[in-house]
Amino acid sequence: MSKFTRLYLRAPRPQNLFGLVSLQTGTELISLALVFNKVSGVYGLLAILTGYQLSLLQLSTYVYSIGVLGLLVYLIPHIRRQSPFECLALAWLYILDTTINGAYTAAFGLDWYFANTTNNGSDSASISLPGIVAQGFDGLRRERAVHGKAVPQETATSMVLIVGLTLIRVYFSLVVMAFARQVLQKYMQLMILEGPGVDENEGPFAADLPDGDGRKGRLGRLMVSLGKRYWLDIPGSENWERSVHGKPHTSSGTLAGQV
């Protein structure tokens, strides 16, 4: 692979959150913010007890929010423990949630656009969205109710707000991914130094390694197989191994020569 490809066509790898806090602290803050966002799913389901009728789409989003909330409660304590499997799972959870929320936001944006074009009302914004996004769509609907259509300046402001929040979520995903990658690579270096080494294709989750056993091992292999070059790339691993062992590690279970 050329140097240009390695440097410019790879996924961004932030070293901190907004240049203020470490990746670990940033990941904790991002995860807690996601927890507060998903709590809305609990209140949404409680609305059923008051007799409020939920659509199938609303019910699915609330159930999804509760499922994500449960996973976060399990995974967040592992951030400080720097558990490789759990931190990697947290990164994938945040990536999937960002993708799903992006799809919902796009769908609601199209819904608002067509509803505004036909001048018909819509209640789809009541589905669980990130707070600022929901406020943006509510503002657009209020403008349409008052003026018969959205005011161009207010429409632009709301859409910029929605797009800006989506971009922030993408950046947060990169931060959580970078932290998981950092944890995984530190763990692999420790395995190279002290133990059986790691597999160049499946990392510490290879079937013949302690972390590759059972269902957790299969899930770990699946997670690192998607974006393997990102997760398993240790910069300068060959030189690092020489400094530790005095010669290149010859075992097939190391990362020597990987780029």
Q: What is the pLDDT of residue 4?
A: 46
Q: Residue 76: how many CB atoms within 10 A of its CB?
A: 17
For residue 234, give every residue at least 6 positions away whose Cβ sits within 8 Å of its Cβ, in sequence order, or none: 185, 188, 189, 240, 255, 258
Reported pTM: 0.75
**How high is the mean pLDDT in each 10-residue block of the chain (259 residues)?**
51 88 96 90 78 75 89 96 95 94 75 58 47 53 52 64 86 96 92 79 87 91 91 60 41 37
Q: What is the pLDDT of residue 105?
A: 75
Q: What is the pLDDT of residue 155?
A: 62
Q: What is the pLDDT of residue 248?
A: 39
Can you give the residue ranges of every domain in the chain? 23-113+129-141+153-233
Residue 197 and residue 220 in contact, taking contact as beta carbons nearer than 8 Å = no
Q: What is the pLDDT of residue 172?
A: 95
Residue 231 and residue 88 in contact, taking contact as beta carbons nearer than 8 Å = yes
Longest dimension (CA), the chain: 76
Q: What is the pLDDT of residue 92?
A: 96
Tokens standing for 196? Answer: 């059986």
Tokens standing for 77? Answer: 């304590």
Q: What is the spatial distance between Cα 201 and Cα 248, in angstroms, rounded to a whole number?
A: 18
Q: What is the spatial distance between Cα 27 and Cα 23, in angstroms, rounded to a whole number?
A: 6
For residue 253, give every residue at least 6 positions away whose Cβ sits within 8 Å of its Cβ, in sequence order, or none: 196, 197, 198, 199, 200, 206, 209
Residue 230 buriedness (CB in 10 A; 0-12 / 13-18 / 19+): middle
Q: What is the pLDDT of residue 62?
A: 83
Q: What is the pLDDT of residue 130?
A: 53
Sequence-separated contacts (24+) of 182-187 with Cβ below 8 Å: 182/23, 183/82, 183/83, 183/84, 183/87, 183/88, 184/84, 184/87, 184/88, 184/224, 184/231, 184/232, 185/234, 186/82, 187/82, 187/84
Q: What is the spatial distance between Cα 63 and Cα 52, in angstroms, rounded to a whole number?
A: 16
First to last CA, the chain: 8
φ, ψ of residue 245 in degrees (nearest 5):
-105, -10
Q: What is the pLDDT of residue 25?
A: 95
Coil, strand, or helix at residue 202?
A: coil
Q: What is the spatial distance between Cα 114 and Cα 107, in angstroms, rounded to a whole number?
A: 11
Q: What angle do the packed helices 152-194 and 23-46 form, to 10 degrees?
A: 120
